[in-house]
Structure 1
Amino acid sequence: MKRLAYVVALIGGLLVIALIAHTGYRAVLSALTIGGWSLLWLVPYHLCPVGLDALGWRVLVARRDPQGRARLGVLTWIALVREAVSRLLPVASVGGEIAGIRLLILRGMDGAAATASVVVEVLISLLSQYLFTAIGVALLIMLTQSSETTTEVLIGIALTCPAPIIALLLLDNAGIFQRLERFAERVLGGRSRLAQLLSGGATLDQEIERLIAQRWRLTKATFWQLAGMVSGSFEVWFALRLLGHPVSVEAAVILESVTLTIRHLAFLVPAGLGVQEAGLMVFGQMLGLSNDAALALSLIKRGREIVMGVPILLSWQVYETRHIKARRDAET
């Protein structure tokens, strides 16, 4: 699987280089130069959408965390770790979720409860993403007023329908996780170390059933996730303004929804290399955005991910090292 991730990442990287070469690297560099150091403001601002997302996660975690081990600040940091792992490491998009589960367990949460919160949060994110995409599509239709564009986009959004439908079915039928757990045990030849971690007084299936039975928690979590996605549109609006290509708020929402949707659909491509750039160029042209500006916007997003993600990954390693050291000291 790692080899496949490396190969896909290489192909994506080559596609990015090809797009920049085709557009003209001088034009892209010129656009980035216009933005200047002010673009660094996007790094601290990113805490806003991540924090809103963490608020939704906290709603799901709070039921099984009366001691407050996973407070909002902690969950925000873990959310940043999840994002950094998924976008900077060649692990596809599921590696971040596994890291998030591990960090919750290290914070003292029950393994099944921690896993259930992440599983349900991922399912809710599918629904939130679909809602955000629908908003972006509606705005695109309104701004372009092109029947051809409308048909193409509606076909595209129709193709993504299975994702939210599957999410709804899973939320209505948590018993499927029990069958998956039993299947995993048979494949692994008994209860593995992972299965043992997930059995902290209740099965994963039971934890998910209890969590999804509280629909008001799901509604609140969905609201905060959707709010985080909408707030992320400011990053697009602000970056393009600094680049000298100002767009309307509606256009910024469209471009952000396109970026998130493409990265979700291309989850097998590490960091969405190549597909994010191509998508921004295609939809940017519909909104009157030049190719060099669209590529510059994508590179700014990637630059922010690196500037913010590398220190977060280092902090994660420091945390893991301290935990290992503390455990060894306790054993001796």
Structure 2
Amino acid sequence: MMKWLKWLGLPAGIAMLIALALHGGMNDVLHAIGAAGFALLWLVPLHALPLLLDAQAWWLLLRKRASLPYLWWVATVREAVSRLLPVASIGGEFVGVRLARWKVDETSVVAGSVIVEVLVTMAVQYVFAALGLVMIIAQTGHDDLLFTIGAALLLSLPLPVVAFVLLRRGGLFHKIERWSARLPMSAHWGVERIGGAQLDAAIDTLLCEPFLLLRAFAWQFAGYLIGASEVYLALWMLGHPVSIGGAIAVEALTQAARHAAFFVPSGLGVQEAVVVLLARLFGVDEQTAFSLALVKRMREVVFGCLALASWQAAEIARNRHDAWRDEPMLKPVEQRRADSDDRRRSR
């Protein structure tokens, strides 16, 4: 089912993007972006700041077992994988667990911190979306959006609530482990190595610390607020500034719409349509609104590609280091003896 949604979502998103480009007038859009010039490139390093605050929350949940700069780098890779690669919206989390395991040995601890962090992120997204809705109503007076967007938020709320309840009750992953062990060919899947009981214990330990969860929530929420500065600065550079509240509203509900349309790869078309719609509510003309949507997409691609390139470089370097370290053990006994004799002669 998910595969079919992706196949349907991609052409639908592309069609929506083309329709926006034709309706907005690409010449005017490109002229607006060209007028802003290379100053728009400052949005790329700016994105590192909200990700740093997000990494701070993960650093707390991971009990500071890895350095904050390293987790910040992993956070950039996680976001790039989830947003640019065809892995739904959770592929970045799997990559994040793998990279964090380079510094922290306990798989259950790392995986547990990522799962709890995802729960915290979901809570932050709901609060941030509600804040954006309040900003729209307060600054534009569009009360009709209260019912539409509010109903959408309420209808999607049971999913994270159910996930939290299941995790809080404990034993979820241990039950999944026992169930999957009964399946045919499970011996070839390495099911016994999952460590469901240890993962459940790691999650339960974190969920039993409300103050820790609140601190993680605060750091992530601060990151989302600072992330709205991208909209504020981009519109200012494009010559159509909006208020801080307007920037928060555009960013908050764009994020909410993108996560709701997870079946559309990279949110292509959906993100652009929502940005244009929301920016128009704050008096931004259609060409500038679409320019903003393209600028956000270009920043995402540039930042994400840099993160993915750094990840691949790190994987290559690690593989080479492992190969160099294991090379002496792979040599035949006779070869190692010959090497030893050569070293003795050279002395």
Give, as a single letter, the amino acid of the residue that structure 2 aligns with 1:28. V
- Answering whether residue 223 of structure 2 is matched by residue 228 of structure 1, we say yes
Match of 2:82 in 1: 86
Cα deviations by residue, 1:259-287 (Å, 9 ceiling, x for unpaired): 11111111122211111111122222222
Give, as a single letter, the amino acid of the residue that structure 2 aligns with 1:9. L
Aligned partners of 1:258 and 1:313: how far apart in 2?
Answer: 27
Aligned 1:52-67 pairs, distance under 5 A: 52-62=53-63, 65=65
Match of 2:110 in 1: 114
From 237, 242, 247, give the equivalent of 1:242. Answer: 237
Cα deviations by residue, 1:211-257 (Å, 9 ceiling, x for unpaired): 21122211111111111001101110000000111000000000010
Give, as a single letter, the amino acid of the residue that structure 2 aligns with 1:146. H
Aligned 1:234-273 pairs, distance under 5 A: 234-273=229-268
Match of 2:311 in 1: 316
Aligned 1:141-160 pairs, distance under 5 A: 141-160=137-156
Residues 174 and 195 in structure 2, CA contact (< 8 A), matched pair in contact too: no
Residues 13 and 268 in structure 2, CA contact (< 8 A), matched pair in contact too: yes
Give, as a single letter, the amino acid of the residue that structure 2 aligns with 1:296. S
Per mean C-alpha deviation after superposition, the further-off stretch among 174-183 and 257-266 is: 174-183
Match of 1:101 in 2: 97
1:169 to partner: Cα distance: 1.9
Give, as a single letter, the amino acid of the residue that structure 1 aligns with 2:26. Y
From 203, 210, 214, give the equivalent of 2:198. Answer: 203
1:7 to partner: Cα distance: 5.5
- Residues 94 and 255 (structure 1 numbering): CA distance in 2 closer, same or farther, change over 3 Å? same
Give, as a single letter, the amino acid of the residue that structure 2 aligns with 1:211. L
Aligned 1:261-300 pairs, distance under 5 A: 261-300=256-295
Residues 104 and 110 in structure 2, CA contact (< 8 A), matched pair in contact too: no
Per mean C-alpha deviation after superposition, the further-off stretch among 7-16 and 124-133 is: 7-16
TM-score w.r.t. structure 2 length?
Answer: 0.87
Match of 1:166 in 2: 162
Residues 16 and 269 in structure 2, CA contact (< 8 A), matched pair in contact too: yes
Residues 115 and 198 in structure 1, CA contact (< 8 A), matched pair in contact too: no
1:6 to partner: Cα distance: 5.8
Match of 2:334 in 1: none
TM-score w.r.t. structure 1 length?
Answer: 0.91
From 152, 173, 178, give the equivalent of 1:177. Answer: 173
Match of 1:126 in 2: 122
Give, as a single letter, the amino acid of the residue that structure 2 aligns with 1:158. L
Give, as a single letter, the amino acid of the residue that structure 2 aligns with 1:230. L
Match of 1:218 in 2: 213
Long gaps (5+) in structure 1: none
Number of corresponding residues: 326
Residues 6 and 90 in structure 1, CA contact (< 8 A), matched pair in contact too: no
Cα deviations by residue, 1:16-49 (Å, 9 ceiling, x for unpaired): 1221112211121122122211001111111110
1:172 to partner: Cα distance: 2.7
Cα deviations by residue, 1:263-315 (Å, 9 ceiling, x for unpaired): 11111222111111111222222222222222211211111112111121111
Match of 1:30 in 2: 31
Match of 2:336 in 1: none
Aligned partners of 1:174 and 1:223: how far apart in 2?
Answer: 25
Per mean C-alpha deviation after superposition, the further-off stretch among 134-143 and 231-240 is: 134-143
Match of 2:341 in 1: none
- Residues 300 and 183 (structure 1 numbering): CA distance in 2 closer, same or farther, change over 3 Å? farther
Match of 2:70 in 1: 74
Aligned-residue sequence identity (percent) comes to 39
Aligned partners of 2:9 and 2:190: how far apart in 1?
Answer: 28
Give, as a single letter, the amino acid of the residue that structure 1 aligns with 2:67. R
Per mean C-alpha deviation after superposition, the further-off stretch among 202-211 and 219-228 is: 202-211
- Residues 249 and 9 (structure 1 numbering): CA distance in 2 closer, same or farther, change over 3 Å? same
Match of 1:46 in 2: 47
Helix, strand or coil for the counterpart of 1:91? coil
From 298, 309, 320, give the equivalent of 1:325. Answer: 320
Aligned partners of 1:21 and 1:87: how far apart in 2?
Answer: 25
- Residues 214 and 10 (structure 1 numbering): CA distance in 2 closer, same or farther, change over 3 Å? same
